[in-house]
């Protein structure tokens, strides 16, 4: 059985509008599913987003653009503060996973990764230790040169891990209350779920760029296209629909958006 890498969206595990607000009620049922998968011998890797533990403060201090000499004091404080918040969020995620019997090993990117985007550097081999569920998250990382620091999104971590970790079967993005990618704003009654994404499909998203310092849904789509073109298939599903997720992980029919593995890899 190949590995599965799962992104717990920041909008799913936190309230994106309320600073530092964790949603344990969203993570708990998921942790039961992840625990079952791990105990069945499935190799599970987890990446989580930042939600209101990262984006709000990072946006206010302009951290995604890197070092700004005119804002040095403010940015230095914000880098420390966002890093501390991310450790806090990661700690709460780990507590719930461990309470569900999952043997986790965490990898805060600031300790091993440098640079942002899909070309960040760092040894991904640390995620290969067998018998563990490896966990990482979007973070403030060091960047070479004048930029000094920047935001490494969990979506770029998903990309590199899905493509470079050994024998990955599937990359899954868990969304907050929507079933996948829609052709129009999902609140529009005419909106249709895109069940199979191909590069011609046009889509829109309500995920708000004013609150997000990384890339919202557009970044997820870009990353998913790259993963599925040379690596495993990618699936977007509703992270609040446990029955549907059980069907997905059991290999049954499920509701969601699939980015199929490129033909040459089938």
Residues that bind ligand IP8 (CB under 6 A): 10, 49-50, 54-55, 58, 82, 86, 138-140, 151, 153-155, 213-214
Which residue in the shown chain puts its C-beta closest to ligand IP8? 138
User: Which residues have C-beta within 8 Å of that of residue 59, sequence separation ≥ 6?
Assistant: 211, 213
* CB of 49 or CB of 186, closer to ligand IP8: 49
Nearer to ligand IP8, 118 or 153 (CB): 153
Element of type H or E holding 221: helix 216-230
DSSP annotation of 127 reads G
Least CB distance from residue 21 to ligand IP8, whole Å? Answer: 15
* Nearer residue to ligand IP8 within complex by CB, 61 or 261: 61
CB of 222 to ligand IP8, least distance (A): 13
Long-range Cβ pairs for the range 220-225 (8 Å, 24+): 220/155, 220/173, 221/181, 221/197, 223/118, 223/155, 223/156, 223/158, 223/159, 224/171, 224/173, 224/197, 224/259, 225/197, 225/199, 225/259
The answer to whether 221 touches 173, Cβ cutoff 8 Å, is: no
Phi, psi at 94, each rounded to 5°: -60, -40
Q: Is the separation of the CB atoms in 108 and 9 below 8 Å?
A: no
Alpha carbons 266 and 264: distance in angstroms, whole number? 6
CB closer to ligand IP8, 58 vs 113: 58
* DSSP β-ladder status, 139-142 and 149-152: antiparallel
Token couple for 250? 């059991």
CB of 156 vs ligand IP8, minimal distance in Å: 8
The two beta strands, 233-238 and 257-259, are antiparallel
Q: Is the CB of 136 or the CB of 238 nearer to ligand IP8? A: 136
| CB closer to ligand IP8 out of 54 and 256 | 54
Distance of closest approach, residue 214 Cβ to ligand IP8, in angstroms:
3
CB of 63 to ligand IP8, least distance (A): 8
CB of 27 to ligand IP8, least distance (A): 15
């Amino acid at each position: 059985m190949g590995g599965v890498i799962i992104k717990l969206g920041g909008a799913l595990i936190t309230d994106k509008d309320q600073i530092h607000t964790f949603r344990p009620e969203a993570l708990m049922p998921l942790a039961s599913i992840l625990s079952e998968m791990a105990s069945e011998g499935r190799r599970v890797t987890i990446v989580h987003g930042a939600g209101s533990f990262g984006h709000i403060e990072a946006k206010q201090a302009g951290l995604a653009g890197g070092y700004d000499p005119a804002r040095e004091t403010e940015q230095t404080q914000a880098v420390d503060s966002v890093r501390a918040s991310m450790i806090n969020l990661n700690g709460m995620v780990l507590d719930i996973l461990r309470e569900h019997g999952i043997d986790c090993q965490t990898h805060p990117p600031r300790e091993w990764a440098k640079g942002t985007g899909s070309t960040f550097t760092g040894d991904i081999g640390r995620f290969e230790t067998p018998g563990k569920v490896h966990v990482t998250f979007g973070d403030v990382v060091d960047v070479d040169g004048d930029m000094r620091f920047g935001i490494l999104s969990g979506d770029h971590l998903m990309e590199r891990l899905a493509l470079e970790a050994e024998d990955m079967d599937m990359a899954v993005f868990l969304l907050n209350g929507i079933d996948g990618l829609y052709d129009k704003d999902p609140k529009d009654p005419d909106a249709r779920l895109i069940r199979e994404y191909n590069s011609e499909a046009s889509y829109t998203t309500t995920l708000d760029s004013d609150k997000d310092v990384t890339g919202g849904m557009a970044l997820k789509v870009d990353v998913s296209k790259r993963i599925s073109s040379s690596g495993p298939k990618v699936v977007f599903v509703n992270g609040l629909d446990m029955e549907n997720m059980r069907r997905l992980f059991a290999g049954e029919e499920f509701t969601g958006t699939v980015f199929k593995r490129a033909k040459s890899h089938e």
